[in-house]
């Protein structure tokens, strides 16, 4: 029997979950992809953890809090394409975070039982651990979110070329541990210094040296 690769199989062959499932050789991946629009709530903190998700395209914000009702608390992390979310479903009964799409996304999902079965059958828990470690390594460093005044913290974020500069500002404010209005004031201060140019949807760095001076507290703001 000859196995014919579809466009979906070709795309999945490059995904770590698909590769571990041997999709290119006709294997079966436990995950099914679904498209969701920006603003869609994937799951809520404290609700039954019955599924695990892989972010295929787009970005998802994670938030946490005992008062979480609709997934609208300030986000503490952003998960982008290649990330696994909801992994707590493997080891406990409820989700730790709420997950909300902040762009249009494609997420692949599978039930807790199917994920556990896949791990047992394939012996590829290493794939999941590698993905988790890579995801955690991309989270904001503690210093970026706590040390210094608001312009310093924002400047440090902007200097990090690995960060996504097109995040919604409400999400960025949450990641930096400040209110949206505080973020807006900090961006305005940095813009007046000529280090960045602001539009409604973009932040463009124009003077990296000046931005570094602000980040290190070497210039008055």
| CA distance linking residue 131 with residue 31, whole number of Å | 15
Model pLDDT, residue 107: 94
Q: Burial code of 104-125, b = ≥16 C-beta within 10 A, e = fewer?
A: ebbbbbbebeebbebbeeeebe
- pLDDT per residue rounded down to tens, the chain (221 residues): 333 334 444 467 667 777 777 766 777 778 888 999 999 999 999 999 999 999 989 999 998 764 545 445 778 888 888 888 998 888 888 898 899 999 999 999 999 888 888 877 766 666 666 666 566 656 655 545 556 788 998 898 888 755 556 678 888 888 887 888 899 999 999 999 999 888 877 888 889 899 999 988 877 76
Model pLDDT, residue 127: 67
Q: Burial code of 158-182, b = ≥16 C-beta within 10 A, e = fewer?
A: bbeeebeeebbeebbbbbbbbeeeb
Query: What is 142-215's CATH number, 1.10.10.10, 1.20.120.450, 3.65.10.10, 3.40.630.10?
Result: 1.10.10.10
Model pLDDT, residue 134: 64
Q: Burial code of 65-86, b = ≥16 C-beta within 10 A, e = fewer?
A: eeebeebebbbbbbbbeebbbb
| CA distance linking residue 106 with residue 135, whole number of Å | 17
Model pLDDT, residue 201: 75
Model pLDDT, residue 132: 67
Q: What is the pTM assigned to this prediction?
A: 0.66
For the domain spanning 7-137, the CATH number is: 2.60.120.10
Residue spans of the domains in the chain: they are 7-137, 142-215
Burial (CB < 10 A; 0-12, 13-18, 19+), residue 156, is buried
- Mutual orientation of helices 150-159 and 208-215 as an angle, nearest 10°? 140
Model pLDDT, residue 65: 61
Model pLDDT, residue 4: 38
């Amino acid at each position: 029997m000859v196995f014919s690769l579809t466009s979906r199989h070709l795309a999945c062959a490059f995904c770590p979950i698909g590769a571990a499932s041997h999709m290119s050789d006709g294997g079966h991946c436990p995950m099914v992809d679904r498209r969701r629009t920006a603003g869609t709530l994937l799951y809520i903190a404290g609700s039954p953890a019955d599924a695990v998700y892989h972010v295929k395209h787009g970005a998802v914000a994670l938030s946490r809090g005992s008062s979480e009702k609709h997934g609208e608390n300030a986000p503490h992390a952003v998960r982008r394409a290649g990330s696994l979310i909801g992994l707590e479903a493997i080891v406990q009964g409820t989700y730790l975070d709420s997950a909300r799409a902040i762009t249009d996304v494609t997420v692949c999902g599978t039930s807790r039982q199917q994920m556990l079965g896949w791990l047992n059958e394939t012996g590829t828990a290493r794939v999941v651990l590698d993905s988790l470690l890579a995801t955690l390594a991309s989270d904001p460093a503690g210093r970026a979110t706590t040390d210094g005044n608001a312009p310093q913290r924002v400047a440090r974020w902007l200097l990090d070329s690995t960060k996504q500069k097109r995040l919604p500002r409400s999400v960025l404010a949450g990641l930096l541990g400040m209110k949206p209005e505080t973020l807006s004031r900090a961006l305005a201060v940095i813009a007046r210094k000529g280090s960045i140019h602001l539009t409604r949807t973009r932040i463009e760095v124009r003077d990296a040296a000046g931005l570094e001076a602000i980040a290190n507290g070497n210039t008055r703001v």
